[in-house]
């Protein structure tokens, strides 16, 4: 009998009937399935069609745009995060929706770059913020740029103007928030122009290379962008500190060779009401009404995963709290704002083969989106939620409805009973629903004589559990399939169908009515 037919039969009879008909050991198993009545499914479908018929296109221009990027948040990550959040609040989980899954418009984004089938974050974010597909590892410069280009004039000539810079030129306020280092690829693509994403501090560059490092670029923005960038918050503190300076949180040293303290330079160059904070207490004390320009650097490197945040030495704001404070800062400008918010560490947890931290960070991103939606007027703010690229993350097997998304695959009770589904290895070992096609989760079980590890006594929902991977790699990789683009607000209907990733920029530009500010290169008049 095929698996599907067996499953259909099992679903057709109630769990009560099954429990009397089946073996006694099976009778003790919990009932599986949802709470919905037969009518519920039909009514929900009717509601969906009714709401879809009422959808109207907001044809007017957007005053504000918020671009949320879940770094590495592929569609399987959205699905698993949705289920996990639903299970955390006590439901079966599958029927749950993340905040942005309620947005009316959706598209698929093709994430390849000019030279990569599967991309890294540099060209993908460059595509979203400049409108052009660029090369591996390069930030907001065109594909004609040579890797390792150290001539500032060449970088200048090949630079691509970003949506943040164009919003600044249009008189809007701008902001950047990330749980990764502010100098990391995704946030950096909004303000930096360089051929090597790793040049985050001057000590990361080859000696004598005259192109400004990324931290320096954030401090030495053009006057227009510098005035406009009201808020920049994330990690990466040591990239802004000289090697002689002691870190306030950890007592370690900065990593700048040039002796510059860029955090002090931020305060000194942004006017009398500029502020720099590095702890949760400092963050909480910031009054958005009296602060003109806010720099927050809450970790030496990346900020903590949401799962570990409460244990941080000096405390950190959550992504939701940073989003809230940023919008409070930016809403003061009646001409509107452009804000980029990155859930930067979904990607890092996936690279580590650690699904639980990735999903908890994706849930936190969803909460930040919810906060932004509540704080803004849907008639004037376009909110886009997408990812730069996917990961090799899978949801597999035939787990029953409500099965712990972090657990071993347990099928709908049927003739096999409710034991975890066994794999076809010699010992018939169970396996987890979540897995990776590659990465550090591959177990070298040769020594034990097994082909796979026996997870039957392992807590697969533990925070540090690493899901199994098919191919052993030190770091799990990105994946090349499309990612989702969710949108709501003015011009959100332009997000539709199968899109090239760089078209996201064109949607935002159209929504913000920035056409007259668009250049193939940057506005040279605004440069230092």
Contacts with Zn ion by CB under 5 A lie at 347
Q: Give residue for tokens 């090597």.
A: 196
Alpha helix ranges (H) inside 332-438? 346-351, 355-375
Least Cβ distance, residue 318 to Zn ion (angstroms): 21
Alpha helix ranges (H) inside 245-296? 262-269, 280-285
Q: Which letter does DSSP use for residue 159 in this model?
A: B
Residue 158 to residues 244, 264, 464, 518, Cα–Cα distance (Å): 35, 31, 43, 15
Query: Phi, psi at residue 183, to the nearest 5°?
Result: -90, 0
d(CA 73, CA 417): 35
Inter-residue contact 490 to 60 (CB < 8 Å):
yes
DSSP one-letter string for 412-442? PSBTTBTSBPBPSSTT--B-BSEEEEEETT-
Q: Is 121 a catalytic residue?
A: yes
Q: Which residues contact 485 (CB under 8 A, 6 or more apart)?
A: 106, 107, 108, 109, 384, 385, 386, 495, 499, 504
HSE of 180, CA atoms in CB hemisphere, 13 A: 22
d(CA 343, CA 459): 27
Which tokens belong to 170?
């249009």
Least Cβ distance, residue 82 to Zn ion (angstroms): 22
Q: Is the dihedral of CA 7, 11, 17, 20 positive or negative?
A: positive
Between helix 355-375 and helix 75-88 the angle, nearest 10°, is: 80
CB closer to Zn ion out of 439 and 490: 439
Least Cβ distance, residue 184 to Zn ion (angstroms): 10
Least Cβ distance, residue 122 to Zn ion (angstroms): 10
CB closer to Zn ion out of 347 and 468: 347
CB closer to Zn ion out of 202 and 347: 347
Angle at 284 between CA 280 and CA 289, to 5 degrees: 145
Q: Which of 201, 75, 192 is nearest to 126 (CA)?
A: 192
Least Cβ distance, residue 217 to Zn ion (angstroms): 21
CB closer to Zn ion out of 180 and 494: 180
CB closer to Zn ion out of 74 and 254: 74
Q: Which residues contact 263 (CB under 8 A, 6 or more apart)?
A: 237, 240, 241, 276, 278, 295, 297
CB closer to Zn ion out of 109 and 263: 109
Q: Which letter does DSSP use for residue 31 in this model?
A: P
Least Cβ distance, residue 364 to Zn ion (angstroms): 18
Least Cβ distance, residue 198 to Zn ion (angstroms): 13
d(CA 187, CA 239): 14
Strand, coil or helix: 79: helix
Angle at 522 between CA 520 and CA 527, to 5 degrees: 165
Least Cβ distance, residue 478 to Zn ion (angstroms): 6
Least Cβ distance, residue 342 to Zn ion (angstroms): 12
CB closer to Zn ion out of 192 and 229: 192
User: Please, what is the end-to-end C-alpha distance for the chain in angstroms?
Assistant: 73
d(CA 23, CA 19): 7
Query: Phi, psi at residue 249, to the nearest 5°?
Result: -95, -40
Least Cβ distance, residue 185 to Zn ion (angstroms): 8
How many other CB atoms are found less than 10 A from the CB of residue 318? 19
Catalytic residue among 99, 113, 119, 121: 121
CB closer to Zn ion out of 111 and 326: 111
Closest-by-Cβ residue to Zn ion is 347
CB closer to Zn ion out of 123 and 489: 123
The neighbouring-strand residues paired with 341 are 68, 177
CB closer to Zn ion out of 306 and 347: 347
The neighbouring-strand residues paired with 394 are 435
Q: Which residues are catalytic?
A: 121
């Amino acid at each position: 009998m095929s698996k599907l037919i067996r499953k259909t039969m099992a679903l057709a009879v109630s769990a009560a009937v099954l429990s009397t008909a089946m073996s006694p050991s099976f009778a003790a198993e919990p009932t599986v399935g949802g709470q919905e009545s037969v009518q519920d499914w039909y009514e929900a479908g009717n509601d969906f069609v009714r709401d879809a018929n009422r959808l109207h296109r907001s044809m007017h221009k957007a005053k504000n745009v918020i671009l949320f990027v879940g770094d590495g948040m592929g569609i399987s990550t959205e699905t698993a995060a949705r289920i996990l959040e639903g299970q955390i609040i006590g439901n079966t989980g599958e029927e749950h929706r993340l905040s942005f899954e309620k947005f009316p418009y959706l598209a698929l984004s093709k994430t390849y770059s000019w030279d990569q089938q599967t991309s890294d974050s540099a060209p993908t974010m460059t595509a979203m913020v400049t409108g052009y597909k660029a090369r591996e590892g390069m930030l907001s410069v065109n594909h004609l740029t040579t890797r390792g280009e150290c001539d500032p004039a060449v970088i200048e000539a090949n630079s691509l103007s970003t949506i943040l810079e164009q919003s600044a030129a249009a008189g809007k306020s701008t902001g950047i928030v990330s749980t990764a280092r502010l100098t990391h690829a995704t946030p950096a693509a909004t303000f930096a122009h360089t051929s090597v994403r790793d040049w985050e501090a001057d000590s990361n560059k080859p000696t004598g290379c005259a192109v400004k490092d990324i931290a320096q670029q954030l401090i030495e923005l053009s006057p227009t962008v510098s005035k406009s960038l009201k808020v920049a918050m994330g990690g990466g503190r040591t990239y802004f500190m000289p090697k002689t300076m002691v870190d306030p949180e950890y007592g370690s040293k900065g990593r700048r060779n040039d002796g510059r303290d860029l955090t002090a330079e931020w305060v000194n160059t942004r006017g009398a009401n500029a502020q720099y904070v590095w702890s949760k207490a400092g963050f909480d004390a910031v009054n958005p009404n009296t602060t003109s320009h806010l720099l927050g650097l809450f970790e030496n490197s990346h900020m903590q995963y949401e799962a570990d945040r409460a244990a941080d030495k000096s405390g950190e704001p959550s992504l939701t709290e940073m989003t809230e404070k940023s919008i409070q800062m930016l809403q003061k400008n009646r001409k509107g704002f452009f804000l980029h918010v990155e859930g930067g560490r979904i990607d890092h947890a996936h690279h580590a083969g650690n699904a639980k931290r990735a999903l908890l960070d994706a849930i936190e991103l969803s909460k930040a989106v919810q906060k932004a939606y509540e704080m803004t007027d849907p008639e004037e703010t376009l909110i886009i939620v997408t990812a730069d690229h996917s990961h090799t993350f899978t949801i597999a097997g035939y787990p029953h409805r409500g099965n712990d998304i972090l657990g071993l695959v347990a099928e709908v009770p049927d003739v096999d009973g409710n034991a975890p589904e066994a794999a076809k290895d010699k010992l018939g070992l169970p396996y987890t629903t979540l897995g990776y096609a590659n990465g550090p989760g591959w177990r070298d079980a040769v020594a034990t004589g097994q082909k796979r590890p026996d997870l039957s006594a392992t807590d697969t929902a533990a925070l540090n559990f690493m899901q199994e991977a098919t191919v052993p790699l030190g770091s799990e990789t990105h994946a090349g399939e499309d990612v989702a683009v969710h949108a709501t607000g003015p011009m959100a209907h332009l997000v539709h169908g199968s899109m090239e990733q760089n078209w996201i920029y064109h949607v935002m530009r159209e929504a913000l009515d920035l056409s007259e500010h668009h250049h193939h290169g940057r506005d040279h008049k605004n440069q230092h």
